[in-house]
Amino acid sequence: MSLFEATDIGVSFGGVRALHDVSFSVEQGEIFSIMGPNGAGKTTVFNLISRFYDLDQGDMLLDGESIRKLAPHQIAERGIARTFQNTELFENETVLQNLLTAHHTHRQTSFLAEMAFLPKVRKQELRFREKVEDIIDLLDLQSYREQRINSLPFGVRKIVELGRALSLEPKLLLLDEPSSGLNPEETEDLSFWIEDINEELGITVIMVEHDMNLLGQVSARVMALSDGELLTVGTPDEVRAHPDVVKAYLGE
Amino acid sequence: MDSISLATFIQLLVTGISHGCLYGLVALGFVLIYKATEMVNFAQGDIMMLGAFIAFTLASGLGFAYIPVVILTILFMAAFGIALESAVIRPMIGEPPFAVLMLTIGLGFVLRAVAGMIWGHDEKEFDTPYSIDPLLIGEVSLDYEQLVVVGVTILLCLGLWTFLRFTKFGVAIQAASQNQLAAAYVGIPVRRVVAITWALATAIAGVAALLVAPLQLIYPGIGFVVGIKAFVAAIVGGFGSLAGALIGGICIGLVEQFVGYMFEGAYGETSVYVLLLLMLFIRPQGLIATLQRKKV
Amino acid sequence: MRFVLKTNYGQDINHFLHNGQRFWYGLLIAALLLAPFFVDRFYVGELTYLLIWVIAGTGLMLLIGYTGLVSMGHAAFMAIGAYAHAVLFKLGFPFGISLLMAGLVSGFLGAVIGIAALRMTGIYLAVATISFAFIIEKIVGEWTSVTGGHRGFVVPEPVMFGIDFGSDMSFYYLCLGVVIVAVMLVLNLLRSPMGRAMIAVRDSEISAQAMGVNLVETKTLAFTLSAFFTGLAGALYSHKIGMLFPENFTIFMSIKLLILVVVGGIGSMHGIVFGAIFISILPQVIAIVRDFLPTVIAQRRGLEPLVFGSILLLFLIYEPLGLYGRWVKIRAYFTQFPLYRRATFKRQKSYLRTERVH
């Protein structure tokens, strides 16, 4: 059984079909990429999985269970984390607080216990903190730990957002254009991190990406979309050479 | 409810609509500013109050005739809008909406206090050439003041709609509101557009003031209550739509009059707020929806 | 400048980072405990008002400053707390119980409004809460059999465990106790997952959801707790004013609370205290200044709202982080002297991009 499976999913906004009849499946442990020109519906796929949009047709399965009726926060509880194209961090908080927030799904205390700050709350906080420190080590964020997000450059924010998604300890990670806004050096670091995340932490990754190098380097399979329709699925080289894909990017 | 005579019914209807038009006019000011800058001006009612006192001073204090009073008041209010924008609002561009909201609340406070200090707190009367005996049709007696409110509101709305839809400037307002930075890049003078929008909104408040002054007595607190009801009107209509503001205004004007009649005057005003809460429960996007979820 | 060598993660969780902080806050509490023995009775009364404002401010700050939900009708919760407590206490409930129940009744109504508010943001919520406050004011005014309406409601003397808290001094200590407990509870919440969830909702609803934060639960809880604390403040306030009228709890009180939060410093617990001091002291200062003003201005009504409004405007334009923000800057100036750069606190401006359809 695949870890994630989408069958004939589709959605339209005000009569415009943003996505229709798209089916794909992602295997446990793989890095699956989605590419396509602007407006192809890549981010829409993510917003459907995150349940920010309702599906008009089709179904989505995680571990064989449908997630199409869940609330957005339940998606996180099921172990799906994501990043955003232009970053959506908690701007007025520190990097540390941002990463700690992602542990919300692992919370085992009630607000009453938290207000009294019972020993179990302190213990939980220490546990969260240790895990967050592991992520900070992994992504080399030590020097930014106590800095507020709104004072950080965009490249660092992207990494912090990746860190925040990892703090959720997901089984499936959705990365929305992780390399956009990064310089070549940062992009290279990123490709190593994505591989580490995938191999060492065993997290399955779905990635929307424009950078062909990054795509070819890390992902096993690529899905190409254009105008809300699926063009092809295959290895990066196959997809790049596919006539429909070439046509979608370059025109007739 | 006791059976209600036709004459009373029509009278309530006209009063409701004319009050509603007033709320709608003030709401138009909100909506205009909101459409251009996405700022919410809570002081719109108090700006109207200021206009009413200006008209009163021109007429009673300085002895101007009615027509010059109308023209001067509107001009003064437009100038006031530009001054206000450059002194208080411009520093707030790019600040979070909450800060702007608080700012305009503070502004309303200051305007009320200043008006109270200049003109005092006793109620003032403002007469117009059409403040004459009511029009009698059968048993129905209709005040000319009320009819004028309705007429002027309709004309003003049509004018405003044409202006926004078909003039270059109207389109510039819309562009500036969609994306300030992009609008500036394509050569729209965003600052001037915003300043003129404020002038337009305060001028409309001036018109509302000229209409409300003969209908009610003028006192510093008059703008606050009208302002909040206008706000409710804007929300009921779906914030960001001119037609919605007017429809919303008329809705609450009618509800207020009829509920007030049913309970002998006790709950008219409260019913407006109940209506708002109900509305927000049932259809929070308003009658004409303009807001959608943030894109990521 | 002080550098703290951290040796374990627990230090970051503690309320006090080092002994210096412990010392100063200890001194503050000691000063508050001893204050009634050294100041005039009148000032004990004024200090009590200050403490009540701090409790109400704690409630509103949690909602506005930490969850990002604007309520412009918090006077309603003060009213609900005040009347619920006064009525229950008069019916014979023990003081402590009726105080707590007043908070709970207010909290319950806060939850109702919170649930209604789930689909609203920003300005919609602000107007909805104003409307709620107007409705509550009307109900209080019309429900004469319970509230006494506009004729007023006499609040009985506070007696708990047979101790009369009616004296200025004992009531002061009662309020001080409630303040300390309330502030501790909120501070604890803010260093726990739920508090972080609230802050997450404030900064980005969408990404809060993506991180597993339940919006319904978080917003409703924020409203409930906020109304609870404000209701508690209202209950204490009822004893302080002795006689309740609907006119005590108008929109102007709501706005005064908003001024407290904004001028004190949005999103900061210190700000509540600064804000409460501000709104307590300002009327006194105005009264003193009035003597020096020419009679034409001094005798006019409206000087107080004028000053309140102007100060609010000045803060929003020049110091949106409030008194606490100003204090942080001044402190930074001295600790980093002569290296302080103004750019450290430069605000980022954003340009408007709407999400509207038309």
* Helix/strand/coil (H/E/C) assignment for every residue in C163-203: EECCCHHHHHHHHHHHHHHHHHHHHHHHCCHHHHHHHHHHH
Nearest-Cα distance to chain A for C243, in Å, is: 33
Co-location of A145 and A191 in the same domain? no
Confidence of residue C344 (pLDDT cuts 50, 70, 90): low
A31 close to A235: Cβ distance less than 8 angstroms: no
Q: Give the end of a domain, one of A136, A152, A168.
A: A168
Across residues C167-191, what is the average pLDDT? 90
Question: For residue C320, is pLDDT > 80?
Answer: no
Across residues B193-218, what is the average pLDDT? 88
| Cβ contact C124–B106 (<8 Å) | no
A228 close to A20: Cβ distance less than 8 angstroms: yes
User: pLDDT tens-digit profile of A38-74?
Assistant: 888 888 999 999 998 889 999 999 998 999 999 999 9
| Chain B residues with CB-CB distance to C255 below 8 A | 105, 109
How much is the ipTM here? 0.91
Which token pair is C278?
Answer: 């501000």
Which token pair is A182?
Answer: 């990064």
Place of tokens 């909506």: B31
B166 close to B139: Cβ distance less than 8 angstroms: no
pLDDT at A130: 92
| Chain C residues with CB-CB distance to B113 below 8 A | 302-306, 309
Alpha-carbon gap, residue B137 to B6, rounded angstroms: 12
B111 close to B52: Cβ distance less than 8 angstroms: no
Q: Tell me the CA distances in angstroms from A24 to A176, A205, A238, one per residue in order.
A: 17, 14, 17
Q: Is residue A143 part of a domain?
A: yes
Co-location of A152 and A175 in the same domain? no
Which token pair is C69?
Answer: 């939900």
| Residues with Cβ within 8 Å of residue B210, at least 6 apart in sequence | B51, B52, B55, B69, B70, B73, B74
| Cβ contact B98–C128 (<8 Å) | no
Give chain B as a 3 state SS string: CCCCCHHHHHHHHHHHHHHHHHHHHHHHHHHHHHHHHCCCCCCHHHHHHHHHHHHHHHHHHCCCCHHHHHHHHHHHHHHHHHHHHHHHHHHHCCCCHHHHHHHHHHHHHHHHHHHHHHHCCCCECCCCCCCCCCEEECCEEECHHHHHHHHHHHHHHHHHHHHHHHCHHHHHHHHHHHEHHHHHHCCCCHHHHHHHHHHHHHHHHHHHHHHHHHHCCECCCHHHHHHHHHHHHHHHHCCCCHHHHHHHHHHHHHHHHHHHHHCCCCCHHHHHHHHHHHHHHHCCCCCCCCCCCCCC
Searching chain B, which residue's CA lies closest to the CA of residue C322?
B99
Give the sign of the dihedral formed by CA C332, CA C335, CA C336, CA C337: positive
For chain B, which chains pass the contact test of at least 3 CB pairs under 8 Å?
A, C
Nearest-Cα distance to chain C for A102, in Å, is: 5
Searching chain C, which residue's CA lies closest to the CA of residue B231?
C127
Residue C61: half-sphere exposure toward Cβ, Cα within 13 Å: 30
| Cβ contact A84–B293 (<8 Å) | no
Confidence of residue C355 (pLDDT cuts 50, 70, 90): very low
Q: Which residue type occupies B37?
A: T
As a whole-number percent, the residues of chain B with pLDDT over 90 amount to: 15
For chain A, which chains pass the contact test of at least 3 CB pairs under 8 Å?
B, C
- Of the ranges A118-122, B56-60, C223-227, which is most confident? C223-227
Q: Is residue A233 part of a domain?
A: yes
| Cβ contact A85–B293 (<8 Å) | no
pLDDT at B1: 47
Which token pair is A243?
Answer: 């006539």
Q: Is residue A86 part of a domain?
A: no
| Chain B residues with CB-CB distance to A85 below 8 A | 296
Q: pTM to 2 decimals?
A: 0.88
Number of domains in chain A: 2
pLDDT at C350: 52
pLDDT at C16: 77
Co-location of A133 and A18 in the same domain? no
Q: Does B296 touch chain A (CB under 8 A)?
A: yes
Q: Which of C142, C303, C352, C358 is the mutation pick for testing B, counting most B CBs within 10 A? A: C352
Co-location of A104 and A138 in the same domain? yes
**Straight-line distance from the first to the last Cα atom of chain A, in angstroms, rounded to the nearest whole number:** 39
User: pLDDT tens-digit profile of A119-135?
Assistant: 999 999 999 999 999 99
CB atoms within 10 A of CB C339: 9
Which strands sit side by side in the sheet containing A57-62, from one edge to the other?
A16-26, A4-13, A57-62, A65-66
Nearest-Cα distance to chain C for B210, in Å, is: 25
Searching chain B, which residue's CA lies closest to the CA of residue C113?
B277
| Residues with Cβ within 8 Å of residue C90, at least 6 apart in sequence | C155, C156
B249 close to B21: Cβ distance less than 8 angstroms: yes
C273 close to C54: Cβ distance less than 8 angstroms: yes
- Of the ranges B185-189, C149-153, C169-173, C222-226, which is most confident? C222-226
Q: Does B293 touch chain A (CB under 8 A)?
A: yes
| Cβ contact B93–C349 (<8 Å) | yes
Which token pair is A38?
Answer: 């602007």
Searching chain A, which residue's CA lies closest to the CA of residue B296?
A84
pLDDT at A22: 92
Residues in chain A: 252
* Backbone φ/ψ region at C174: left (φ over 0), alpha (ψ -120 to 50), beta: alpha
Co-location of A75 and A180 in the same domain? yes
Alpha-carbon gap, residue C316 to B295, rounded angstroms: 29
| Angle made by CA atoms B109, B112, B113, in degrees to the nearest 5 | 85
Co-location of A62 and A175 in the same domain? yes
Question: For residue B145, is pLDDT > 60?
Answer: yes
| Chain B residues with CB-CB distance to A45 below 8 A | none
Contacts 24+ apart (CB under 8 A), C301-306: C301/B116, C301/B117, C301/B121, C302/B112, C302/B113, C302/B114, C302/B116, C302/B117, C302/B220, C303/B113, C303/B117, C304/B113, C305/B109, C305/B110, C305/B112, C305/B113, C306/B109, C306/B110, C306/B113, C306/B114, C306/B117
Confidence of residue B102 (pLDDT cuts 50, 70, 90): confident
Confidence of residue A206 (pLDDT cuts 50, 70, 90): very high
Co-location of A75 and A174 in the same domain? yes
Question: For residue C352, is pLDDT > 60?
Answer: no
Q: How far is CA B85 from the centre of its chain?
A: 18
Q: Give the end of a domain, one of A168, A193, A208.
A: A168
| Chain C residues with CB-CB distance to B259 below 8 A | none
C48 close to C184: Cβ distance less than 8 angstroms: no
Question: Using CB atoms, which residue from C262, C305, C355 is nearest to B294?
Answer: C355
Confidence of residue C15 (pLDDT cuts 50, 70, 90): confident
Q: Tell me the CA distances in angstroms from B255 to B248, B262, B268, one per residue in order.
A: 11, 10, 7
Across residues A206-220, what is the average pLDDT? 88
Co-location of A174 and A158 in the same domain? no
Across residues C296-308, what is the average pLDDT? 75
Question: For residue C356, is pLDDT > 50?
Answer: no
For chain C, which chains pass the contact test of at least 3 CB pairs under 8 Å?
A, B
Please give the domain boundaries of chain B with CATH numbers for all domains: 6-122+140-294 (1.10.3470)
pLDDT at C341: 64
Q: Classify burial at A183, counting beta carbons within 10 Å of its beta carbon; exposed 0-12, middle 13-18, buried 19 or more.
A: exposed
Question: For residue C91, is pLDDT > 80?
Answer: yes
Q: Is residue A39 part of a domain?
A: yes
Strand C243-244 to A31-35 pairing: unpaired
Q: Is residue A24 part of a domain?
A: yes
Across residues B215-237, what is the average pLDDT? 85
| Cβ contact C313–B232 (<8 Å) | no
Co-location of A59 and A174 in the same domain? yes
Q: What is the CATH number of the domain that holds A240?
A: 3.40.50.300
Q: Tell me the CA distances in angstroms from B263 to A53, A60, B15, B260, B267, one per residue in order.
A: 46, 55, 17, 5, 6
Question: Using CB atoms, which residue from C12, C202, C211 is nearest to A104?
Answer: C211
A160 close to A98: Cβ distance less than 8 angstroms: yes
pLDDT at C348: 53
Q: Tell me the CA distances in angstroms from B174 to B161, B242, B295, one per residue in order.
A: 12, 13, 20
Q: Does A92 touch chain C (CB under 8 A)?
A: yes
pLDDT at C199: 93
Nearest-Cα distance to chain C for A186, in Å, is: 24
Read off φ and ψ for residue A224, nearest 5 degrees. -105, 130
Dihedral (C-alpha) C255, C259, C260, C261: value to the nearest 10 degrees?
100
| Cβ contact A92–C199 (<8 Å) | yes
| Cβ contact B107–C313 (<8 Å) | yes
Q: How far is CA C102 from the centre of its chain?
A: 17
Co-location of A113 and A226 in the same domain? no
Alpha-carbon gap, residue A230 to A24, rounded angstroms: 9
CB atoms within 10 A of CB C12: 15
pLDDT at C358: 37
Across residues C48-53, what is the average pLDDT? 94
Q: Out of B55-64, C185-194, C339-348, pick the least confident.
A: C339-348
Searching chain C, which residue's CA lies closest to the CA of residue A150?
C348
Alpha-carbon gap, residue C280 to C283, rounded angstroms: 7
| Residues with Cβ within 8 Å of residue C163, at least 6 apart in sequence | C170
Across residues B267-286, what is the average pLDDT? 78
Find residue B179's DSSP bridge partners.
C353
pLDDT at C166: 64
Q: In terms of pLDDT, which residue wins out, C143 or C230? A: C230
| Chain C residues with CB-CB distance to B273 below 8 A | 130-132, 134-135
C258 close to C310: Cβ distance less than 8 angstroms: no
| 3-state DSSP assignment of residue C159 | strand
Q: Is residue A85 part of a domain?
A: no
Co-location of A118 and A187 in the same domain? no
Q: Give the end of a domain, one of A152, A168, A184.
A: A168
Give the sign of the dihedral formed by CA B146, CA B149, CA B150, CA B152: positive
| Chain C residues with CB-CB distance to A84 below 8 A | 206-207, 210
Which residue segment(s) compose the domain that A156 sits in?
91-168
| Residues with Cβ within 8 Å of residue B47, at least 6 apart in sequence | B29, B41, B77, B80, B81, B84, B111, B202, B205, B223
Confidence of residue B161 (pLDDT cuts 50, 70, 90): confident
User: pLDDT tens-digit profile of A72-127?
Assistant: 999 999 999 999 988 889 988 899 999 999 999 999 999 999 999 999 999 999 99
Question: For residue C354, is pLDDT > 50?
Answer: no
Q: Does C350 touch chain B (CB under 8 A)?
A: yes
| 3-state DSSP assignment of residue A32 | strand
Co-location of A66 and A25 in the same domain? yes
